[in-house]
Every structure is written in structure tokens, then in C-alpha cells.
Structure 1
């Protein structure tokens, strides 16, 4: 009889832990009853247009204009063309992988958490982009010397902020 009683108590305890586990997996505790806290209700997403986004876009546009960026890239003979071409190819691969993730996996297939489904995509894309930035720094170093990483970083941030405002 005591064995049956212990088994019944064990079953009750097991059911209780199972119920608590389901609530934890759903992110709801026993006393919430599906209601959000006042903090959760008040949290709003950050606006797309903000001061630091505008700063980076204006800084990138200003550098592009005052350095005559595209003309220098097309005409200047001191650019190491082999490294520049490697950088262009790596940047194209990086952008292709990013577009694959955003356009195809997220929008077309509806996979919101593509980094969980395809865990290698984000590190590969990041590594390819870092290799591209290193190639561009090596290629453009003869033109702008010590300012090359700063110029390229500003250009990158400006494009990134512009894309984030559009998307």
C-alpha cells in the first residue's frame, strides 16, 4: 500500500514539473495567465531614423564627395589592382550570402531564425567580409595611407545605416 501511495505522489510531482516546464518553454509563469508586464507593454522599437544613423550617412556622403572616392578608385594608378579585385570578389560573395539570408530565407521561405537553421552562414559571411575589408585596405593603402581604414569604415557604416533605414 505504501508503494502505491509513493507512486501516486511521484506521478503528481511529475505532472506538476511537466506543467511548470511547459510554462517555462512558452515563457509564461503560473501567475502571469498570459498577461504582459507593464515594462513589456511600454517597450517600443527604436526608430529607424535617429541621430547616429544620420551622422554616419552624412559622414560617408561627405567623405565620398570630398575625397572624390569613385574617381580615385577608377583612375588612380597607385591602387594595387590585384588586391582590389580580390576585395571586389569577396565583397560580392559576402553580399550574395547576405542577400540569400535576407531575401530568400527570410522573405521567400519565411525562415525567421535562419542562423539556427543554417548556423554556418553568419560566420562564413562575416569571415568573407573581413577578408574583403582587409583586401581593400591593402589595395587602397598607397592612396590614403593611415587614413584608409578610417575612410573605409566610415563608408561601411554609412552604407549600413542607409540600408537599415530603407529596410
Structure 2
């Protein structure tokens, strides 16, 4: 009989701890939800125009002017045209996939999480962009030498920040 009482007491104790743990977890999750909703009410969205975006846009515009970016692209004979054309095609693939995701999937069909519906789009776009940037660096290396990656990165950041202000 002593074994039975000990076993019964153990079951009762375990059930009491289980119930207390459930209540504790439930109250913590409710407090966490309350804290999150209070935090979300207090947090203001970041301003669209900030120092970071202004810096990259101005750096891109200044660099475009300083190195005669478009004149060099159009007229310089040292550019490796095959690599440049490959870069243009890959950049076109990236922009087409981005337009497909933003315009068709998000705006037209209302799909916010398109990476769940079409899981191949993000890695394909990323791979195409990396390959495009490598192609552009190879193509434009004879023009700006070791400044080429810095110039192209600055142009990329300027365009991204400008798009973030528009969108």
C-alpha cells in the first residue's frame, strides 16, 4: 500500500506541475503578445529619406559625373564587349524576375510571399545577379582597373537606394 500511495502522490505532483507549467507558459505567451503589440504601437516606421540612402544616391551621382560613366560605357573601345553583353543579358534576367515578382505576383495577383509559391525565383535571381556583376567587372576592368568593383558597387547601391525612395 505504501508503494501505491507514493505512486499516486507522484502522479498527482506531476499533474500539478504540468498544470502549473501550462498556466505559466500561457501567461507568458499572453504577456509576450501584449508586449509585442505595445511595442508595435510605440515604434514608428523608419523615414524613407535618411542619411544612408542620401549618401549612396549622392555618391552614385557624383561618381557617374566624375568618371563620365555613360560616355565611357558608350564610347570606350577597351570594354570587352562579349562580357559586357553577357552581363546585360543576366541583368535583364534579374530585372525581369524582379518585375514578375513585384508587378505580376504582388500587385496583380496579391501574393505577398512569392518565395513560398515560387521557391526557385530568389536563388535564380541571386545567381544571375552575381554572374552579371562578375561579367561587368571583367568587361569594364580595362577601363577603370582596380576601381571597377568600387564604381560598380557604388552605382548599384545608388540605384537600390533610389528605388527604395520611389517604391
> Structure 1 residues 43-52 or 104-113, which shifts more?
43-52
| Structure 1 residue 41: Cα displacement | 1.1
In structure 1, what is the equivalent of residue 117 of structure 2? 117
Instruction: Select the structure of larger CA radius of gyration.
Output: 2
Q: 1:34 to 1:87 in 2, by over 3 A?
A: same
Q: 1:102 to 1:68 in 2, by over 3 A?
A: same
Map residues 56-135 of structure 1 onto 2, 5 A cutoff: 56-135=56-135
Superposed CA RMSD in Å reads 2.3
- Structure 1 length-normalised TM: 0.80
Q: Does 1:144 align with 2:144?
A: yes
| Structure 1 residue 44: Cα displacement | 1.9
**Which deviations, in whole Å up to 9, do the C-alpha atoms of 1:75-100 show, x marking residues without a partner?**
00000000000000100110000110
Structure 2 alignment gaps of length 5 or more: 1-17
Larger helix proportion of the pair:
2
CA distance in 2, matches of 1:111, 1:146: 42
